[in-house]
């Protein structure tokens, strides 16, 4: 585990990706590009000052216990909750998501950025000027007050954690954007194009996540609540330390594919202390 310092309230500083990563970016884009997924409103988004756009991926049409927990927590914030749910058919959107303030079905293709693109367009069109928290279901929680955390943010785009891997970037499992409008959408278009999406994990990371902060920083202030320059993912390698600092999430993968980064018994114990279901 790295001993590098965790920097709080870090102002984003662009860095250059190595040539091999720039070459990989081109290859991954060609391999992963697809048409943007269609979507259908179940309950339309409307005008209000702040929204959370929560992307839920449920190929079975059944919510997991962790998705239910996150949904309940997000409903308790002061923000409107817009859920964008990916299922094989629109008829499979779980009924319990009907309590969301806005709800959309999304086709299965495209990763989280295809949902973020839909959320950005909907807010820019129907609730211009709102500030928006974007979140996917790769994290468990939140376990602390998101409104309080974001109220102290100094930037127009805020990440919860940032990484120096490949190049300095905000990690996209959750991030916050102020004043979402057609102008803001235009500023981010090369990251969230309207007509196409990316349908492989590597393409999304290399072409969207690692580029987003750098592109955004050309037209808005960008920063992160936590950053470490060692190139490792803080929510994985420093999970417990982050929780002590007020980080509101636990990465779901720490219970399975990324379990080698932490003591799983400790992660389960923390989840239990937060009242989160543990299978």
Q: What is the CATH number of the domain that holds 213?
A: 3.90.550
| Alpha helix (H) residue ranges in 15-145 | 19-32, 65-75, 112-126
Q: Helix (H, G, I), strand (E, B), or coil: what is residue 228?
A: strand
CA distances from 71 to 47, 50, 147 (A): 21, 16, 15
- Give the pLDDT of residue 18: 85
Strands 250-251 and 139-140: antiparallel
pLDDT above 70 coverage of the chain, percent: 99
Beta strands in 196-236 (DSSP E): 196-198, 222-228
Question: Would you say residue 209 lies in a domain?
Answer: yes
Write out the residue range of the structural domain in which residue 64 sits.
17-234
Mean pLDDT, the chain, whole residue set? 96
Q: Which of 150, 139, 161 is nearest to 8 (CA)?
A: 161
What average pLDDT does the segment 191-205 reach?
Answer: 97
Which of 2-11, 108-117, 244-253 is least confident? Answer: 2-11
What average pLDDT does the segment 244-262 reach?
Answer: 97
- Give the pLDDT of residue 2: 46
Question: Would you say residue 242 lies in a domain?
Answer: no
Question: Would you say residue 252 lies in a domain?
Answer: no
Report the alpha-carbon distance of residue 82 to residue 98 in Å, rounded: 10
Higher-confidence residue of 253 and 3: namely 253
Q: Which of 210, 199, 209 is nearest to 106 (CA)?
A: 199
224: β partners: 10, 159
Domains identified in the chain, total number: 1
Question: Would you say residue 243 lies in a domain?
Answer: no
Buried b (16+ CB within 10 A) or exposed e, 135-163: bbbbbbbbbeebeebbeebebbbbbbbbb
Q: Helix (H, G, I), strand (E, B), or coil: what is residue 218?
A: coil
The pTM (predicted TM-score) of the whole model is: 0.96
- Give the pLDDT of residue 3: 62
Question: Would you say residue 27 lies in a domain?
Answer: yes
Question: Would you say residue 134 lies in a domain?
Answer: yes
pLDDT above 90 coverage of the chain, percent: 92
Q: Is the pLDDT assigned to residue 116 strictly greater than 90? A: yes
Question: Would you say residue 210 lies in a domain?
Answer: yes
pLDDT digits (tens, 9 = 90+) for 139-149: 999 999 999 99
Report the alpha-carbon distance of residue 236 to residue 167 in Å, rounded: 18
Confidence bin at 17 (pLDDT 50/70/90): confident
Q: Which two tokens stand for residue 75?
A: 């409903």
- Give the pLDDT of residue 1: 40
Question: Would you say residue 176 lies in a domain?
Answer: yes
């Amino acid at each position: 585990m790295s001993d590098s310092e965790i920097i709080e309230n870090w102002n984003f500083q662009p860095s250059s990706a190595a040539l091999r990563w720039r070459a990989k970016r081109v290859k991954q884009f060609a391999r992963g590009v697809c048409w943007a997924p269609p979507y259908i409103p179940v309950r339309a988004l409307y005008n209000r000052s702040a929204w959370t756009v929560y992307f839920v991926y449920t190929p079975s049409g059944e919510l997991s216990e962790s998705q239910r927990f996150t949904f309940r927590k997000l409903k308790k914030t002061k923000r409107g909750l817009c859920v964008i749910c990916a299922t094989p058919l629109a008829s499979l959107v779980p009924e319990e998501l009907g309590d969301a303030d806005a709800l959309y079905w999304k086709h299965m293709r495209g990763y989280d950025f295809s949902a973020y693109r839909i959320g950005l367009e909907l807010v820019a069109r129907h609730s211009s000027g709102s500030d928006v928290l974007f979140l996917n279901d790769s994290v468990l929680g939140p376990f602390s007050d998101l409104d309080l955390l974001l109220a102290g943010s100094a930037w127009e785009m805020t990440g919860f954690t940032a990484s120096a891997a490949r190049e300095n970037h905000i990690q996209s499992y959750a991030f916050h954007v102020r004043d979402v409008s057609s102008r803001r959408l235009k500023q981010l278009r090369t990251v969230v194009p309207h007509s196409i999406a990316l349908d492989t994990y590597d393409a999304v990371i290399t072409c969207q996540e690692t580029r987003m902060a750098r592109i955004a920083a050309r037209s808005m202030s960008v920063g992160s609540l936590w950053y470490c320059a060692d190139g490792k993912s803080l929510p994985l390698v420093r999970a417990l330390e982050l929780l002590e600092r007020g980080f509101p999430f636990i990465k779901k993968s720490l219970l399975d594919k990324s379990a080698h980064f932490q003591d799983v018994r400790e992660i389960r114990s923390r989840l239990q202390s937060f009242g989160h279901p543990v299978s």
